[in-house]
Amino acid sequence: MKATISADIISSTSLSSKELVVLSETINGAFNVIEEHLSKKQQSFWGRIVKGDTIECVFDSPQYALWSALVLKVSILLKTSSWKSKVDAVKKSKGFEYFLLYGIRLAIGVGELRLVDKNMGIIDGDAIYKSGRKISEFSTSGKERIIIKDTLYFVSGDKSMDLVMNTMLSFVDVLLKKSTNKQMQVLYHKLLGLKDAEIATLLGLGVSTVNKHSTLLGWNAISEMLDFYENMNFENN
């Protein structure tokens, strides 16, 4: 059983060419972080940007797809957060405001993959169909009115598993939407496995302040969700 991530940049047409380039660099940086982390677990990973505003990732095993999805999502939100203070309210559209708030919409697909060829640029099989179709359902491309309820999805074909995971992901969506830039920085380093004291040194904060940010952003709930997900039995799917 394999896993994929399909994602799209929300309101990508509202971004300038320069902003898209910077965002692409951020996404590729997240790919590097994920690849390095998974290589230590003897897991292969391939992430790519397609057509400038679509992201696709492939995993040997579903176990680490959710962690990787959060690293990718938080990396992008940290970048959009740094842009918020520079927004020209007159120049930028409502679509750009949605981009700053949500960054990307992504879906994890779990299933078989019959062909993955990095050299040929081919990803084919059930998992990528599932994640790709889910993202297509909520595409805002070409729509005058944009409505965004959730930005994190899970599709396996197992109704019970999908219900449990999508319920939890809805809560994570709310937590991310309400998080401050500093809380998001703490979350990013927590995802990478750093201790509070290490994060405090990196961010120039007191350990108690890091602990407070961690509590406010709901790290304990996110950590428990990751543990729950990584211990799920995907082979019976």
Q: Where are the domains of the chain?
A: 2-169
Note the pLDDT tens digit of each residue in 103-156. 999 999 999 999 999 999 999 999 999 999 999 987 655 555 566 789 999 999
Sheet holding 54-59, edge to edge: 45-50, 54-59, 2-9, 104-111, 152-155
Indicate the pTM of the whole model.
Answer: 0.93
pLDDT at residue 90, rounded to an integer? 45
Domain 2-169 has what CATH class? alpha beta
Beta bridge partners of 111: 2
> CA 184, CA 137: separation in Å to the nearest integer?
28
Judge contact between 116 and 4, C-beta under 8 A.
Answer: no
> CA 214, CA 187: separation in Å to the nearest integer?
7
Contacts for 38-46: CB closer than 8 Å, 24+ residues apart: 38/64, 38/68, 46/116, 46/118
- pLDDT by residue for the chain (237 residues), tens only, comes to 999 999 999 988 888 899 999 999 999 999 999 999 999 999 999 999 998 899 999 999 999 999 999 999 999 999 988 887 666 554 567 788 888 889 999 999 999 999 999 999 999 999 999 999 999 987 655 555 566 789 999 999 999 999 999 999 999 999 999 999 999 999 999 999 999 999 999 999 999 999 999 999 999 999 999 999 999 999 866
pLDDT at residue 148, rounded to an integer? 78
Calculate Rg over the CA atoms of the chain.
17
Q: Helix-strand-coil percent breakdown of the chain, rounded to 5?
A: 55, 15, 30
Judge contact between 135 and 105, C-beta under 8 A.
Answer: yes
